[in-house]
Structure 1
Amino acid sequence: MSEGTRGMTPGYLVWRLSIKWRVAVDQALAPLHLTHAQYVVLSSLFGMERAGPLPSQRQLADHTGLEALYVSKLARSLESSGLVRRERDTADTRVVRLGLTADGHRTIGPAMRTVRALHDRLLAPLGGMDDLRTAALVRDLSTLLDTPLGPPA
């Protein structure tokens, strides 16, 4: 632990790391004209499309952890940029389904390679993506993320 972090709470450190990580991703993706939030939507859509039918905006919000209203705004912006298509569900017209356009598919590949290289660099102090320390970090963070919010049952 560095002298600068001694006495800081885990919550504060997680918050600071999330800000640092987001800024690093924003900077890495700037040449591709994408923000971190846009990347999260595009890369999630890429994975969700490969796994099955086009997800709804609600499913994408649940998958990403982003607010549904924010996903809606991001989807509209990405649609305007020609990267995402939005279409009404044929069975329930209240539901909006999302998918990548051809331009979205052409954009996400280089973006994912850029972010993967950034992750390799950011995780180098732990030994890299394939190190046991990184695996332990992923396991611990997953445990914290899987813990429900709210008062104890």
Structure 2
Amino acid sequence: MSSAGATPGHLVWRLAMKWRTAVDRALTTHGLTHAQYVVLSSLVALDRPSQRELADHTGLEPLYVSKLARALEASGFIARTRDAVDTRTVRLTLTDRGHEVVVPAIAVVGALLDRLLEPLGGRSGDRTAALSHELTALLDVPLD
């Protein structure tokens, strides 16, 4: 499909859909959706985030993170515990089972990312760094 004459917004949309579809397909053998993967892989990097902190980190809506967290808890992938100081806050951690599922999934998504970024020189390429810089600038623009 040609991208000639496409607006930047259309290109961002197409790339986001292409990436989401590819990740969803790659993760089917791990029994995860892209959204579930985003939550689980984020928990590898974050230290007991609240659901709100995780929503801010992932860009997912807080209500959706809450629903995902409940489902992932029911599957035994995460633990949800009340914060000791603010009992209204729910903290999230990976369980051993969640860790066992997400670590190989991270490798699969990493390989997919390598394929995506290869035309730009790979993950450490100058063009990839420039793209990341530009995307970060766009993400910082308030639209609502």
TM over 0.5: yes
Aligned to 1:70: 64
Deviations 1:16-72 (A, max 9, x none): 1001000001111110001110111011111002xxxx1110111111110000000
Question: How many angstroms does 1:149 deviate by?
Answer: 2.5
Aligned to 1:135: 129
Question: How many angstroms does 1:84 deviate by?
Answer: 0.5
Report whether the alignment pairs 1:15 with 2:9: no
RMSD: 1.2
Question: How many angstroms does 1:88 deviate by?
Answer: 1.3
Give the Cα–Cα distance (whole angstroms) in 1 for the partners of residues 69 and 77 of structure 2: 9
TM-score by length of 1: 0.89
Give the Cα–Cα distance (whole angstroms) in 1 for the partners of residues 3 and 19 of structure 2: 17
- Runs of 4 or more off by more than 3 Å in structure 1? none
Aligned to 2:27: 29
Give the Cα–Cα distance (whole angstroms) in 2 for the partners of residues 136 and 78 of structure 1: 35
Unaligned runs of 5+ in 1: none
TM-score by length of 2: 0.95
Unaligned runs of 5+ in 2: none
Give the Cα–Cα distance (whole angstroms) in 2 for the partners of residues 36 and 83 of structure 1: 15
Q: Could you say what secondary structure the match of 1:128 adopts?
A: coil
